[in-house]
Amino acid sequence: MKLAARMEKLPPYLFLELDRIVAEKQAQGYDMINLGIGDPDQPTPSYIVKALQEAAANPANHRYPDYWGSLPFRQAMSQWYQRRFAVTLDPRSEVVGLIGSKEGIAHLTWAMAGPGDVVLVPDPSYPVYMTQAILAGADVYPLPLLAERQFLPDLRNIPEDILRRAKMLWLNYPNNPTGAVAPREFYREAVALCREYDILLCSDLAYAEIGFDGYRAPSVLEIPEARDIAIEFYSLSKPFNMTGWRIAAAVGNSTAVKALGTLKSHLDSGAFTAVQDAAIVALTEDPTPVFTAQNRLYQERRDIVLEALRAMRLTVPTPLSTFYVWFSTPRGMTSSDASRFFVENAQVVVAPGASYGQAGEGWLRISLTTATDRLAEAMQRMKRAMEQLTSI
Ligand SMILES: Cc1ncc(COP(=O)(O)O)c(C=O)c1O
């Protein structure tokens, strides 16, 4: 069977090769510890599960959902933005519900960019920004995220002709995979640039509620002029351990929100209304106890990993947010060689940085979403493997 030509443009799936090796090792009886995938290991808070159970029993919720997200869900999201970021949003025109933010991130590109257009994509980054631009036939212009610039792109270095053709700029802070955060000054600079060149600033705020050492992430919409050119993706997946539930929203510039909602009305029929009802409970109840416990847990794990990697003499920036630790490969290995080294010699899976873009070469990513004792065990194994390496 011959597939569409565009399928050939897609790069190989990030974890495919690693999954194959892990399956092979497990079949040989090895106890593998997978620190590759970022997916919370803690359960969704019970009051949200209970809200879903009740909402699922309501026959009114068994019919097709509202295409744009139910009005109560959009109102709850707008009230959340008011309380959390002091940002006022009109729930009717500035909020659209999504079936997880990945869905909205992917579809927004189809509403905004096509052949001849440029999409500005951080390198390394969450792969969906790039793959959708490729599928939509737009040109991807990578913005390297380098350690010496605290993993913020150098916006002043983008050539004038690229800026003139650019339709979208993707930003994701707190950042996957580097764990970096962005100060408000950076957002101000990005908003000014996007207004000057009429580029849609797309902010992916997936890790908003994870913060260590007192850190709290801002929203790009806190910048007064951002509403002119910015859309932001806010997902319940990571804050409330709801990755399997598929619920999020895109908020901000009404033209972009309308374009995304219109496109989606031709593609899907919205998130299950019972899930939206439970999401309203998540967004309405005081989340402080959940976030406090969660951040304490991730920070404890982060500190175990930082200490171990530093004892291995690897370069490790201290992340203030996300559940990722980004660190240099040992002895100048490529990221895929280093990842394979830890699979073979420590039975630990870490994600190769180059899978997130060329500028990720020389780096690896550890996810903190594994039980603390297993994570500590993985660090011991990696230390032992590194000791063997240095004694060779
Ligand atoms: C940066 C980033 N954006 C978006 C997503 C997708 O989140 P959702 O579950 O809302 O689709 C992820 C998931 O890992 C992510 O890392």
* pLDDT above 70: residue 342: yes
β-pair partners for 327: 364
**Largest CA-CA distance found in the chain, in angstroms, rounded:** 67
Residues 6+ apart with CB under 8 A from 105: 126, 128, 129, 132, 202, 204, 233
The tens digit of pLDDT for each residue in 98-146 reads 999 999 999 999 999 999 999 999 999 999 999 999 999 999 999 999 9
Q: Indicate the pLDDT class of residue 363, thresholds 50, 70 and 90.
A: very high
If you measure from the C-alpha of residue 358 to the centroid of ligand 1, how many angstroms do you get, rounded to a whole number?
Answer: 20
Q: Indicate the pLDDT class of residue 392, thresholds 50, 70 and 90.
A: low
What structural domains does the chain harbor? 5-43+289-391 (3.90.1150.10), 46-284 (3.40.640.10)
Predicted confidence at residue 205, as pLDDT, reads 98
The tens digit of pLDDT for each residue in 270-310 reads 999 999 999 999 999 999 999 999 999 999 999 999 999 99
* pLDDT above 60: residue 14: yes
Predicted confidence at residue 34, as pLDDT, reads 93
Closest CA to 176 of 139, 137, 217: 217
CB 94 within 8 Å of CB 75? no
The tens digit of pLDDT for each residue in 44-63 reads 999 999 999 999 999 999 99
Predicted confidence at residue 21, as pLDDT, reads 82
Report the distance separating Cα 204 and Cα 231, nearest Å.
Answer: 9
Choice from 98, 204, 268 to test ligand 1 binding pocket (greatest atom count within 8 A of CB): 204
Angle at 124 between CA 230 and CA 227, to 5 degrees: 5
If you measure from the C-alpha of residue 301 to the centroid of ligand 1, how many angstroms do you get, rounded to a whole number?
Answer: 21
CA–CA distance from 269 to each of 65, 67, 262, 266, 386 (Å)?
6, 5, 11, 8, 51
